[in-house]
Amino acid sequence: MGSWERQKVKENRVLLSTISPPDGKVSYQWARSWRELQLPQESDNLIVQGLPYGVARNYAVKQLLEQGFSWLFFLDSDITLPPNAVMRLLETKLPLIGCYYTHRFPPYEPCFYGAKQDEQGKIQKVALTGWNFGDIVPSVFLPGGACLIHRCVFERMSAAGIRKWYEWTLDVDEPIGISEDYSFSLKAYSLGITPMAHTGIQARHECLATCGVRGIEAVTQ
């Protein structure tokens, strides 16, 4: 392998980070999807288990930066993907881009959103319209369950004085808080990095079900 080829390999190395539940259990469909996922040469896997979401994602970012990977791809343990999902995201060369998937509960709306300010100046999610499947859609709130991020995004945040890339602010006393992935994409947007949703790469957001002798009795949303 020549120097140019080695440089290309280095530029495309991906750290695939799975945020795993405490018991480590995943569905057969997810395990098969993970196994069949295509990654560039010299990429690697990292499983982060039993930590709060924000802490788990921040740990993965530190591993990315310390080990010299160029890209971080988050794959949550309830998201299944087409085998070529990561490779197609890499082809866009966009620094912050995620796959399309919906919420796990009715009416199963897309998980990515735009934003608006309310009367108190708070940033709120707003549905994005006018796009067609296959479009790469600019957004503000981008879910982190199947998301590719270049290391420059984290480096830029650090240079701007952001100490926590991911920060969960939802709480019983903070109903206006947001999840760690939405807070991250909002921080990126505030620095001029537009989160993008690739609606041509469609992932599946798994649901849990309880089954009895008559079949599915209830679905846990």
SS3 54: helix
73-96: pLDDT as tens digits: 999 999 999 999 999 999 999 999
pLDDT band at 174 (very low <50, low <70, confident <90, very high): low
Domain ranges of the chain: 3-220
- State the Cα–Cα distance between residues 19 and 48, nearest whole angstrom: 5
Q: Do 181 and 80 meet the contact criterion of CB atoms below 8 Å apart?
A: no
Task: List the alpha helices (DSSP H) in the chain.
Answer: 3-12, 28-36, 53-67, 85-92, 151-159, 180-190
Q: What angle do CA 6, 9, 13 make, to 5 degrees?
A: 145
In this structure, which topology does domain 3-220 adopt according to CATH? Answer: Spore Coat Polysaccharide Biosynthesis Protein SpsA; Chain A (3.90.550)
pLDDT for the residue 208: 60
Q: Rg for the chain (alpha carbons), in Å?
A: 18
pLDDT at position 50 over 90: no
Comparing 171 with 73, which gets the higher pLDDT?
Answer: 73
